[in-house]
Protein backbone atom coordinates (compact mmCIF):
# COMPACT_ATOMS: atom_id res chain seq x y z
CA UNK A 1 0.00 0.00 0.00
CA UNK A 2 1.36 3.43 -0.90
CA UNK A 3 2.36 5.95 1.73
CA UNK A 4 -0.30 8.42 0.50
CA UNK A 5 -2.93 5.73 0.82
CA UNK A 6 -1.82 4.95 4.38
CA UNK A 7 -1.84 8.65 5.28
CA UNK A 8 -5.38 9.06 3.95
CA UNK A 9 -6.48 6.30 6.32
CA UNK A 10 -5.41 8.21 9.45
CA UNK A 11 -8.36 9.01 11.70
CA UNK A 12 -9.64 12.57 11.60
CA UNK A 13 -10.27 12.43 15.35
CA UNK A 14 -8.95 10.43 18.30
CA UNK A 15 -10.78 9.99 21.59
CA UNK A 16 -8.92 8.97 24.74
CA UNK A 17 -10.13 8.69 28.32
CA UNK A 18 -9.70 12.41 29.06
CA UNK A 19 -8.82 14.00 25.72
CA UNK A 20 -10.29 14.61 22.31
CA UNK A 21 -7.88 15.10 19.40
CA UNK A 22 -9.15 16.71 16.20
CA UNK A 23 -8.02 18.86 13.31
CA UNK A 24 -7.06 22.36 14.45
CA UNK A 25 -9.74 24.99 13.71
CA UNK A 26 -9.35 28.73 13.15
CA UNK A 27 -11.21 29.21 16.43
CA UNK A 28 -8.14 27.63 18.09
CA UNK A 29 -5.84 30.43 16.91
CA UNK A 30 -6.04 32.59 20.07
CA UNK A 31 -5.37 29.63 22.39
CA UNK A 32 -2.68 28.25 20.09
CA UNK A 33 -0.97 31.63 20.03
CA UNK A 34 -1.27 32.06 23.80
CA UNK A 35 0.13 28.63 24.65
CA UNK A 36 2.81 28.36 21.94
CA UNK A 37 4.26 31.82 22.52
CA UNK A 38 6.36 30.48 25.37
CA UNK A 39 10.15 30.42 25.43
CA UNK A 40 10.22 27.21 27.49
CA UNK A 41 8.32 25.38 24.72
CA UNK A 42 10.32 26.98 21.91
CA UNK A 43 13.58 25.92 23.54
CA UNK A 44 12.80 22.23 23.13
CA UNK A 45 11.05 22.17 19.73
CA UNK A 46 12.70 22.07 16.33
CA UNK A 47 9.99 23.78 14.28
CA UNK A 48 8.19 26.29 16.53
CA UNK A 49 9.20 29.93 15.99
CA UNK A 50 9.55 32.39 18.84
CA UNK A 51 7.98 34.76 19.35
CA UNK A 52 4.95 32.79 18.17
CA UNK A 53 2.47 35.25 16.73
CA UNK A 54 -1.23 34.97 15.99
CA UNK A 55 -0.23 34.94 12.30
CA UNK A 56 1.92 31.84 12.98
CA UNK A 57 -1.09 30.18 14.58
CA UNK A 58 -3.37 30.99 11.64
CA UNK A 59 -0.74 29.80 9.13
CA UNK A 60 -0.28 26.55 11.04
CA UNK A 61 -4.03 25.91 11.09
CA UNK A 62 -4.74 26.85 7.48
CA UNK A 63 -1.61 25.61 5.70
CA UNK A 64 0.50 23.28 7.81
CA UNK A 65 -1.61 21.19 10.19
CA UNK A 66 -3.20 18.93 7.62
CA UNK A 67 -1.43 18.52 4.29
CA UNK A 68 0.36 15.79 2.36
CA UNK A 69 3.26 15.81 4.84
CA UNK A 70 1.51 16.52 8.14
CA UNK A 71 -1.43 15.12 10.06
CA UNK A 72 -1.72 17.28 13.17
CA UNK A 73 -4.27 17.05 15.94
CA UNK A 74 -5.38 19.78 18.32
CA UNK A 75 -5.27 18.18 21.77
CA UNK A 76 -8.35 19.31 23.68
CA UNK A 77 -9.43 18.87 27.28
CA UNK A 78 -13.04 19.78 28.04
CA UNK A 79 -13.21 21.43 24.59
CA UNK A 80 -10.21 23.69 25.34
CA UNK A 81 -6.98 23.49 23.33
CA UNK A 82 -4.06 22.34 25.48
CA UNK A 83 -1.49 21.43 22.81
CA UNK A 84 -0.77 19.87 19.44
CA UNK A 85 0.37 16.41 18.38
CA UNK A 86 0.88 15.01 14.93
CA UNK A 87 2.66 12.79 12.51
CA UNK A 88 5.20 14.13 10.03
CA UNK A 89 4.65 12.01 6.93
CA UNK A 90 7.31 13.22 4.48
CA UNK A 91 9.86 11.00 2.79
CA UNK A 92 9.85 7.22 2.59
CA UNK A 93 10.76 6.86 6.25
CA UNK A 94 8.27 5.91 8.95
CA UNK A 95 6.19 8.85 10.18
CA UNK A 96 7.65 10.92 13.01
CA UNK A 97 5.56 11.84 16.04
CA UNK A 98 5.88 15.42 17.22
CA UNK A 99 4.01 17.26 19.94
CA UNK A 100 3.92 20.00 22.51
CA UNK A 101 1.62 20.88 25.40
CA UNK A 102 0.98 24.28 26.89
CA UNK A 103 3.06 24.68 30.03
CA UNK A 104 0.04 24.83 32.39
CA UNK A 105 -0.79 21.26 31.33
CA UNK A 106 2.62 19.66 31.89
CA UNK A 107 2.95 16.82 34.38
CA UNK A 108 -0.62 15.46 34.15
CA UNK A 109 -0.04 12.56 31.75
CA UNK A 110 -1.86 14.29 28.88
CA UNK A 111 1.02 13.99 26.40
CA UNK A 112 1.44 10.26 27.07
CA UNK A 113 -2.32 9.70 26.77
CA UNK A 114 -2.48 11.64 23.50
CA UNK A 115 0.59 9.83 22.13
CA UNK A 116 -0.95 6.45 22.85
CA UNK A 117 -4.12 7.52 21.05
CA UNK A 118 -2.23 8.77 18.00
CA UNK A 119 -0.13 5.59 17.91
CA UNK A 120 -3.32 3.51 17.94
CA UNK A 121 -4.64 5.62 15.04
CA UNK A 122 -1.36 5.13 13.16
CA UNK A 123 -1.52 1.38 13.69
CA UNK A 124 -5.16 1.28 12.53
CA UNK A 125 -4.10 3.18 9.39
CA UNK A 126 -1.45 0.56 8.62
CA UNK A 127 1.70 2.19 9.98
CA UNK A 128 3.69 -0.48 11.84
CA UNK A 129 6.53 1.85 12.86
CA UNK A 130 6.62 5.45 14.11
CA UNK A 131 9.74 7.39 15.08
CA UNK A 132 10.26 10.32 17.45
CA UNK A 133 13.09 12.41 18.81
CA UNK A 134 13.68 14.67 21.75
CA UNK A 135 16.40 16.98 22.90
CA UNK A 136 18.31 14.77 25.31
CA UNK A 137 18.07 17.28 28.14
CA UNK A 138 14.24 17.28 27.85
CA UNK A 139 13.64 14.53 30.40
CA UNK A 140 9.88 15.17 30.46
CA UNK A 141 9.52 14.48 26.74
CA UNK A 142 11.73 11.40 26.95
CA UNK A 143 9.52 10.12 29.77
CA UNK A 144 6.40 10.69 27.64
CA UNK A 145 7.86 8.72 24.73
CA UNK A 146 9.01 5.82 26.89
CA UNK A 147 5.64 5.59 28.67
CA UNK A 148 3.87 5.66 25.29
CA UNK A 149 5.82 2.57 24.20
CA UNK A 150 8.76 4.01 22.28
CA UNK A 151 12.23 2.48 22.62
CA UNK A 152 15.39 4.57 22.52
CA UNK A 153 17.47 3.77 19.43
CA UNK A 154 20.22 6.38 19.30
CA UNK A 155 21.65 9.52 20.78
CA UNK A 156 23.72 12.06 18.91
CA UNK A 157 24.21 15.59 17.76
CA UNK A 158 21.42 16.93 15.53
CA UNK A 159 22.55 18.31 12.20
CA UNK A 160 19.68 20.58 11.14
CA UNK A 161 17.25 23.27 12.21
CA UNK A 162 17.43 25.18 15.45
CA UNK A 163 18.80 22.05 17.14
CA UNK A 164 21.91 21.89 14.98
CA UNK A 165 24.74 20.97 17.31
CA UNK A 166 22.36 19.90 20.14
CA UNK A 167 22.28 16.37 21.55
CA UNK A 168 19.06 14.58 20.60
CA UNK A 169 17.73 11.15 21.50
CA UNK A 170 15.93 9.14 18.83
CA UNK A 171 13.14 6.64 19.45
CA UNK A 172 11.10 4.06 17.58
CA UNK A 173 7.68 2.57 18.25
CA UNK A 174 6.64 -0.66 16.59
CA UNK A 175 3.08 -1.91 16.47
CA UNK A 176 2.74 -4.81 18.92
CA UNK A 177 2.22 -8.11 17.15
Question: Please, are residues 76 and 35 in contact by the beta-carbon 8 Å criterion?
Answer: no
Query: Alpha-carbon distance 131 to 25, whole Å?
Result: 26
CATH fit for domain 3-127, picks 3.80.30.20, 3.40.630.30, 3.30.360.10, 3.40.50.720: 3.40.630.30
| Confidence band, pLDDT 50/70/90 cuts, at residue 176 | confident
CA distance 125 to 103: 31
Reported as a single tens digit per residue, the pLDDT across 49-69 is: 899 999 999 999 999 999 888
- Closest to 14 (Cα-Cα) out of 134, 119, 136: 119
Q: pTM here?
A: 0.94
Signed CA dihedral, 70, 82, 104, 59: sign only: positive
Domain coordinates of the chain in residue numbers? 3-127
Amino acid sequence: MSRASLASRLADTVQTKRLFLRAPHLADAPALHGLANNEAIHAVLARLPHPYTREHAVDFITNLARNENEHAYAITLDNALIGVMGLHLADADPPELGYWLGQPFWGNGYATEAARGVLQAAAAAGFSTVTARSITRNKGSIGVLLKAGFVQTAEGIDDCGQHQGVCVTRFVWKQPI
